[in-house]
Structure 1
Amino acid sequence: MTTQLKICGIHSLSEIQELKDLPIDYFGCIFAPKSPRYVSVDLAKDIVTEIHSVGKLAVGVFVNTPIHELQQIQQQTNIDILQLHGNESVEDCSSLHNAGYTLWKAFSVYDALPDITLYQPYIQYPLFDTKGIVEGGNGTRFNWEILKNLSPYSYILAGGLEVNNVQEALCYHPAILDVNSKVECNHRKNRSLVEKIIRKLAD
């Protein structure tokens, strides 16, 4: 098994058009209004259409969005995976799982992992990201040593991933690397920086 790549924070049609031919497994759109990469439902529809046109998967990132609203956005945009990045409960995840949704649940960490046992029956992957104040990601890394005893390819790693630390991250065998702000120039995804990440994954 090899580690897959997600590029998150796509917030313009031109970004996805520039990146969609690259070997990227998932593209993420953030629906948290306080995020600088927030996308509207109407824009997300167009972005997801582009993602699906090349056979890739679209991930919607939500922060404490009411269940009925989340389901409505999924139906309107046709996103494939719901990434819950707030304080969503086990009951929320159970309800969505039982309704047929594929879930990734984010957990904010720094130097210790939370007990996620109750969530695990309902989520495809836990996503470990750095504690911070910005909804939908903060662009900083946590102490990756806390991951060393996890089963290989059983979780998603996010937070501060960039060209200079991707190979170190791969030593911990995440299922997916979730990359966002560190592949941007002037607040938009930069193809050259993304290609450098891809080359590191291939080494």
Structure 2
Amino acid sequence: MLRTRIKICGITRAEDAKAVVESGADAIGLVFYPPSPRGVTATQAIDIVAAVPAFVTVTALFVNPSVEEVQSVLDSVRIDLIQFHGDEDDDFCRQFKRPYIKALRVRQASDVVASCLRFPGALAILLDSYKPGVPGGTGETFDWTLVPENPPKPLILAGGLEPGNVAEAISVVKPYAVDISGGVEAAKGIKDHGKIADFVKEVNRVDEHYRF
């Protein structure tokens, strides 16, 4: 069985990126969405990414961006993976010649399979909580039993995760990866390095129990 991959999203400082790397997590997320309290500019992102070594994936998150906005980031920042959180379609997401994942705000079980089929180019589908008018980062969980077994694509579980509930989340959903932001923060956009370490340790502990 594969181990559960881990992404820590909403990184705004180089020191937090270093803490993610030291924890053993697989990826960081940079939010290129100005309304978000975790949003960063390309200039900020360059400094953050300088702290990230090879084999840790740098993910750029966008919400309904223009082509120019995405391309500007790709031209100036080392980006390994793009995460789309808005109403983008598969054709839009594919055009940047980068691997991408697509976020889905879950309302019903059929949404998950349908989204997998609508985005054949996506490497995975990220499942987040649905909240009207909020594209993500709600800090709230959703009903994990809505996630179907044997989905058409790998699933990344997000939405309200924290060290105290990730064990249950993995046991119910058995996702390919988990994605956390607010659950490891001291304040919005400022990560708590101890919580990051605790989260990664808990995921690894759960993997040993449920996966092997």
In the TM superposition, 1:6-21 aligns within 5 A as 6-21=7-22
Structure 2 CA distance, aligned partners of 1:126 and 1:176?
A: 10
RMSD over aligned Cα atoms: 1.8
Residue matched to 2:147: 147
Q: Secondary structure at the match of 1:164?
A: coil
Matched residue, 2:38: 37
How many residues align? The count is 199
Aligned to 2:102: 105
CA distance in 2, matches of 1:15, 1:126: 25
Partner of 1:28: 29
Task: Provide the rounded CA distance (Å) in 1 between the counterparts of 2:77 and 2:88.
Answer: 21
Cα offset, 1:130, TM superposition:
0.7
| Secondary structure of residue in 1 paired with 2:65 | coil
Tell whether the 8 Å contact from 1:82 to 1:101 is kept in structure 2 after alignment.
Answer: yes
Aligned residue number for residue 201 of structure 1: 203
Could you tell me the TM-score, scaled by structure 1's length? 0.90
C-alpha deviation, 1:200, in angstroms: 1.3
Q: Which residue of 1 aligns with 2:209?
A: none
Superposition TM-score, scaled by structure 2 size? 0.87
Letter in 2 for 1:62: F
How far has the Cα of 1:152 moved from its partner? 9.2
What is aligned with 2:210? Answer: none
Distance 1:195 1:117, change over 3 A: closer
Equivalent residue, structure 1, for 2:183: 182
Q: Distance in 2 between matches of 1:102 and 1:109?
A: 22
- Measured against aligned partners, the alpha-carbon deviations of 1:36-73 in whole angstroms (never above 9, x if no partner) come to 1000110101111211x253110000000012320221
Equivalent residue runs for 1:108-147 within 5 Å:
108-114=105-111, 115-132=114-131, 133-147=133-147
For residue 156 of structure 1, report the CA deviation from its aligned partner.
0.6
Q: 1:82 aligned to 2:82?
A: yes
Aligned partner letter, 2:102: K
Distance in 2 (alpha carbons) for counterparts of 1:57 and 1:151: 24
User: Structure 1 unaligned runs (5+)?
Assistant: none
Percentage of matched positions with identical amino acids: 31
How far is 1:153 from its partner?
A: 7.7
Give 1:47's aligned amino acid.
I
Superposed CA deviations along residues 161-189 of structure 1, whole A, max 9, x for unmatched, are 01121011112211110001011113311
CA contact (8 A) 2:116 2:125 kept: no
